[in-house]
Structure 1
Amino acid sequence: MEGRVFLRFDGSVAEAGLVVPYALVPAQGVLAKPSKWRKLEREARAQLIGERSNERALRELHDSVRAFVVEMIEECDEFGLRAMDFLHTLADLQTSEPAGVVFDRIRQRLGHAVERQREEQHAERTRQSINLAEYPASFDVARRLPRKFIALLGPTNSGKTHKAMEALAKAGSGVYLAPLRLLALENYERLLEVTQHGKPLAVSLVTGEERRIAEGATHVASTVEMLDTRTPVDVAVIDEIQMLADRDRGAAWTAAVCGAPARTVYLVGAPEARRAIEALAERLECPLEVHVLKRKGPLAMEPSAVRKVKNLRPGDALIAFSRRDVLMWRDMVAEQGHSVATVYGNLSPEVRRAQAQRFRDGSADIVVGTDAIAMGLNMPIARIVMTSTVKFNGYEEEEIPAALARQIAGRAGRYGIHEEGLVAGMDPETHEVMRSLLKEKPTPLNTSGFSVAPTLEHLHRIAAVTGETSLAKLLKRFIHNIDVPDGFFYPRITEDQKDRAEWLDTLPLTVAEKFTMSLVPVATKVMALQSAWEHWAVSLSKKRVTRLKPDEHMLHYMTLQEVEDTCRMYSAYAWLGYRLPEYFPDVELAQQLSREASERVDSMLQDQNASARRRQPRRQR
């Protein structure tokens, strides 16, 4: 059998009330390969069999089987398993492998069974430790307050955010929750201009990377992830509420709706969020008012595509979907003699604001940007011109959804400045796709499956009942094992966090440290940022303090991309510094360096714009 000629001994062992039969090959039971066996004389074969099948060999095998049976019975008793479920293999397994190999296979099977059993026990304990149906109850202050929801829903330029901010400004205390640092900053400054009882409002700004804390502050402008769920206020404004459906960040909006500690909570966003808001209000047993606002000025498609760059005009916003394309179109527009403002996601909020201001005050005729224009930048755009309707979604190129097309297009026609907003495609195909997207009926958000991200408390609970210390395994248990009774709330983590967790598990860090490092806002696909993040994690694992060592001339030798990434790196350091100040103490320096890098980016963009415009006369000559 299996290319071998071998001996097999039959027998049985009686132990602890069990009779275990066996048919096994002893340690020296393999005699030869068939080809060699056939060449042996009859007497030589008999002699070899006699040498290998003596009493001693029989006794040694029998004793080894007995010892193995005792071992297996004890192991199975410890884990509540039936020994014969594994030991029957000693007689059933038809193989030429020696007994020792068979024992190891059975041990391996037992190990897998124990692991499965342990996994089932841990899964059950995890289910018992976290029940997502009880998620809203984890926000103590919000749960105790008599809360009321007011939904202000409408398209871009319907005045919904303005109306909510007016209510916030009049309130005795309140919080504004933004999807972007840029929006938090804009509304922070807006609130600073408000006076109550003859005094300016005391307002704080709180984002992941920056804190401007005012003494005795009654109002806070914050990014949504930075919501303080412990301090009760009169009014909370949750902006862009349709972000509940966002694949990566939706959990922050779920937490804000469930946990905003305000007596009146304004939910501001697109009309397609209505059903989701109604479902949440019912689940949270909060009364809900819904106000649907209409756009203040009409929005219309141009009769035909723009077709050529020379047909662009002052007041246009040209939209592309990648940094490379934005800079390419910027150069082509500038070469036509236009001054250009540039806005894309890789730019810091400060640079985006500076560029937008150039368009607002007339220093730039045309703005060229990504869909970053669609959220958080109020600019007097007369016409939106789409260069494409295809965008990379993180996995593949796909046509933009109708909701995003409407949000971008809605930036055209600023109320009080333009009579109407106009939309066009650069080429005829893009023009017609935009026309059909704007006609498409919005798809309502789902009314269940609201994302919940793991908190450190969740992971500590799972660790306490399972003994697990691997962040990747704790996150996996959160996703797969916690109790989700009706699916109304659903556990989610990002792919970035999952990938980072596996790498962080190779370092000697606590669960809390690994969890914090897994959330650092850096782009892992940018090599310089990924390297910085890895360096920070390794330093933390060695309990080393990471200081910043700035080189004041360094920025002047960098490309635009490198300066942008440097700015993001300093922002990420500041984010870490607020959470682990003992090991990342240079927060103020990081913020200063980030501002300097932002100023350098803005200067480089203006220089490149001017350079492209200078090429224009030569082209005409």
Structure 2
Amino acid sequence: MSELADQEHDDQLMRELGLADLGFSLMRLEGRVFLRLTGVVHYGGRSYPYDLVPAQGVLAKPSKWRKLDADARAAVLRERASPAVVEELHGHVQAFVQEIADASDDCDLDPQPFLQGLADMQISEPAGMVFDRIRQRLEHAVERDMEEQHAERTRQSINLAEYPASFEVARRLKRKFIALLGPTNSGKTHQAIEALAKAPSGVYLAPLRLLALENYERLQAMQQHGRPLAVSLVTGEERRLEPGATHVASTVEMLDTRTPVDVAVIDEIQMLADRDRGAAWTAAVCGAPAHTVYLVGAPEARRAIEVLAARLDCELEVHVLKRKGPLSMEESPVRKLTGLRRGDAIICFSRREVLMWRDNVTEAGLSVATVYGNLSPEVRRAQAQRFRDGAADVVVGTDAIAMGLNMPIARIVMTTSVKYNGVEEEEIPAALARQIAGRAGRFGVHEEGLVAGFDAETHNVMRSLLREKPVPLKTTGFAVAPTLEHLHRISAVTNEHGLAKLLKRFVHNIDVPDGFFYPRITEDQFERAAWLDMLQLSVAEKFALSLVPISAKVHSLQHAWESWATALAHKKITHLKPENNPLHYMNLQEAEDACRLYSAYAWLAYRQPEYFPDTVLALRLSREASERVDAILQDQNSAARKRQPKKFRRR
């Protein structure tokens, strides 16, 4: 029998049994033979038709159904398509319509688009499956509607155009900006620090702990009215608070926006454009509570400073300084280790490369100081001091020397012009090339600064980069990072408490009217937030933990951070246990990691002292770990020199 003839035969059987009059029809679809039942329910003054498969409406596969004779088919139909089935399904539909209509009404949604699926969803699954799909559609619609409401409430709660007004003390002061712009070795920082030291009170804001530490000591050595300045040091990991201090040296993220001072110095102002930390400079410019604010940095920041000053309605005075000594490219590359000489700084872009070049250079007969980003400020400073004192002939380092280390470098020697940017290897930007090269030729020590590539290709690239015209910083989209107050405000209007969701709302939902200020978070913070949301922590606790300065790429450090977060979630006190791995047994990498671990603990201890009480111990251990790192570097340097025959050693 053909399929068409079979269908006609079934239709005739349905009529003979009176099932068509009850609203039943027999269908073949999706490899099934099944019953459908049509009807209408009424609720809230509206009618809702349905066309559904009863709970027992699926009869058989087509092949099995064809094998049944008319009597067998009739018996199955009488069992599965009775008035009782009609009544049962109608009751289920009536209850479901009421459920969806009431739920839609609660959410200010029209139930019709959802309940229309009772008649339109032509599937072979029983009615319960249709109900579930409609519930899911409603749930998604409610979520979308709630998302739109939360997004709108977030927009209404935070308007970035009003960001400067959030700094109440700075807003009340009549502030004046003085921009001191120039290349490295132009004396701009010296001029700003001199002005700061003469002021009755002030703050120096550094991009690095090392710079904060150096200028803290520099200010301590200066006098005012015949007496030494009273200066405090405030960084994320350390506090040296002087009673009655009039001046503070601080990292830029630690700016106290509530205590007015006479003068503020914001160093490396071009960091406004930094992808990860630019928001700290935006906050400093908007919030520094000083009558006079010195903005110190590269000339390419000038236009950005001008538009910021105009936006903040602050008077601006710009001074462009010139380099105090000439900077020149060597005529040819160095090419050989024997071409290196005392006073050189050999630049690489990774810790591994630094240590490799360090060994090569020492074996060639030159003593070496070593500087790279993974070293603590104390170690970097100790190594730089060896170079300044003449205990090291050359310094081998990364671009970490480009910011915060004043050394009598005669010549910069670039081993490469390519650096890993976190995603891929790429040529360094001209701005970085200029900043590194500018460290050559310390004023008062050398008549000029020299720059060379170790190989011909690097030499030619550096020559081109130093000739490039500086690219001005953008004059819009100044980064703003979320504060805890921002997150609490978003949480209050959305009733959300997950840090990842709050950060996401900050980035995507707050009001950014003209794009002058723009919300930013780092990828690291967002990834940490997702992990922290699995723990029972407050928004404030999660926010603090998301900012701990510790590398997720080092397993031992990531493990320590996770254990700290878990302990805080259980409200357990975390003590340091240095005895588990004594410092004198550590190799270089272990000692470096220990130093970073203790510093990170200290950072957290200042913010959660109740649960991380060993602040003093952490600072002591950090200093001891730094001393261990410095000792290892010196031992390795000596060992490498001993491997070189005496007749090849240079003095």
Shorter chain as normaliser: what TM range? over 0.9
Q: Who is 2:26 aligned against?
A: none
Of residues 452, 462, 465, the one that matches 2:480 is 452
After superposition, residues 543-562 of structure 1 pair within 5 angstroms as 543-551=571-579, 554-562=582-590
CA RMSD of aligned residues (A): 1.0
Rounded to whole Å, the distance in 1 between the matches of 2:368 and 2:409 is 13
Shift of 1:620: 6.3
What SS is found at the alignment partner of 1:520? coil
Where structure 1 has 5 or more consecutive residues not aligned to the other structure, the ranges are none
Q: Does residue 1:11 correspond to 2:42, yes or no?
A: no
Of residues 390, 402, 416, the one that matches 2:430 is 402
After superposition, residues 18-167 of structure 1 pair within 5 angstroms as 18-167=46-195
Q: Who is 2:624 aligned against?
A: 596
Q: Who is 2:238 aligned against?
A: 210
Shift of 1:558: 1.7
**TM-score, with structure 1 as normaliser:** 0.99
Rounded to whole Å, the distance in 1 between the matches of 2:170 and 2:374 is 36
Rounded to whole Å, the distance in 2 between the matches of 1:406 and 1:3 is 73
User: Is the Cα contact below 8 Å between 2:41 and 2:48 reproduced in 1?
Assistant: yes
Q: Who is 2:636 aligned against?
A: 608
Where structure 2 has 5 or more consecutive residues not aligned to the other structure, the ranges are 1-28
What SS is found at the alignment partner of 1:268? strand
Rounded to whole Å, the distance in 2 between the matches of 1:269 and 1:467 is 43
What amino acid sits opposite 2:262 in the alignment?
D
User: Is the Cα contact below 8 Å between 2:118 and 2:130 reproduced in 1?
Assistant: yes
1:374-431 Cα distance to aligned partner (Å, 9 max, x none): 0000000000000011111112111110000000000000011111100000100000
Rounded to whole Å, the distance in 1 between the matches of 2:428 and 2:61 is 67
After superposition, residues 80-479 of structure 1 pair within 5 angstroms as 80-479=108-507
Of residues 595, 598, 614, the one that matches 1:570 is 598
What SS is found at the alignment partner of 2:645? helix
User: Is the Cα contact below 8 Å between 2:412 and 2:440 reproduced in 1?
Assistant: yes
Q: Does residue 1:499 correspond to 2:546, yes or no?
A: no
What SS is found at the alignment partner of 1:8? strand
Rounded to whole Å, the distance in 2 between the matches of 1:116 and 1:65 is 26
Rounded to whole Å, the distance in 2 between the matches of 1:618 and 1:71 is 92
What SS is found at the alignment partner of 2:644? helix
Shift of 1:39: 1.7
Rounded to whole Å, the distance in 2 between the matches of 1:422 and 1:318 is 12
User: Is the Cα contact below 8 Å between 2:154 and 2:494 reproduced in 1?
Assistant: yes
Q: Does residue 1:489 correspond to 2:521, yes or no?
A: no
1:286-308 Cα distance to aligned partner (Å, 9 max, x none): 01011100000000000011011
Rounded to whole Å, the distance in 2 between the matches of 1:41 and 1:231 is 95
User: Is the Cα contact below 8 Å between 2:50 and 2:119 reproduced in 1?
Assistant: yes
What SS is found at the alignment partner of 1:7? strand
1:333-362 Cα distance to aligned partner (Å, 9 max, x none): 000111100000000000000000000000
Rounded to whole Å, the distance in 2 between the matches of 1:132 and 1:279 is 16
Q: Who is 2:552 aligned against?
A: 524
Q: Who is 2:6 aligned against?
A: none
Shift of 1:553: 6.7
Q: Who is 2:645 aligned against?
A: 617
Shift of 1:221: 0.2
Shift of 1:136: 0.2
User: Is the Cα contact below 8 Å between 2:364 and 2:648 reproduced in 1?
Assistant: no
Shift of 1:556: 2.0
Shift of 1:551: 2.0
Number of matched residues?
621
What amino acid sits opposite 1:242 in the alignment?
Q
What SS is found at the alignment partner of 1:50? helix
What amino acid sits opposite 1:122 in the alignment?
H
Q: Who is 2:20 aligned against?
A: none
What SS is found at the alignment partner of 1:295? coil
1:296-342 Cα distance to aligned partner (Å, 9 max, x none): 00000000110111110000000000000000000000001111000
What amino acid sits opposite 2:630 in the alignment?
D
What SS is found at the alignment partner of 1:551? helix
What SS is found at the alignment partner of 1:216? coil
Rounded to whole Å, the distance in 2 between the matches of 1:614 and 1:513 is 52
Rounded to whole Å, the distance in 1 between the matches of 2:581 and 2:374 is 22
Shift of 1:42: 2.2
What amino acid sits opposite 2:526 in the alignment?
K
Rounded to whole Å, the distance in 2 between the matches of 1:168 and 1:618 is 50
Q: Does residue 1:542 correspond to 2:570, yes or no?
A: yes
Aligned identity (percent) is 76
Rounded to whole Å, the distance in 2 between the matches of 1:484 and 1:576 is 32
What SS is found at the alignment partner of 2:600? helix
Q: Which runs of 4+ in 1 moved over 3 A?
A: 618-621
What SS is found at the alignment partner of 1:6? strand
Shift of 1:618: 7.9
The structure with more radius of gyration: 2
What SS is found at the alignment partner of 1:151? strand
User: Is the Cα contact below 8 Å between 2:183 and 2:299 reproduced in 1?
Assistant: yes
What SS is found at the alignment partner of 2:450? strand
1:139-175 Cα distance to aligned partner (Å, 9 max, x none): 0000000000000000000000000001001001000
What SS is found at the alignment partner of 1:585? coil
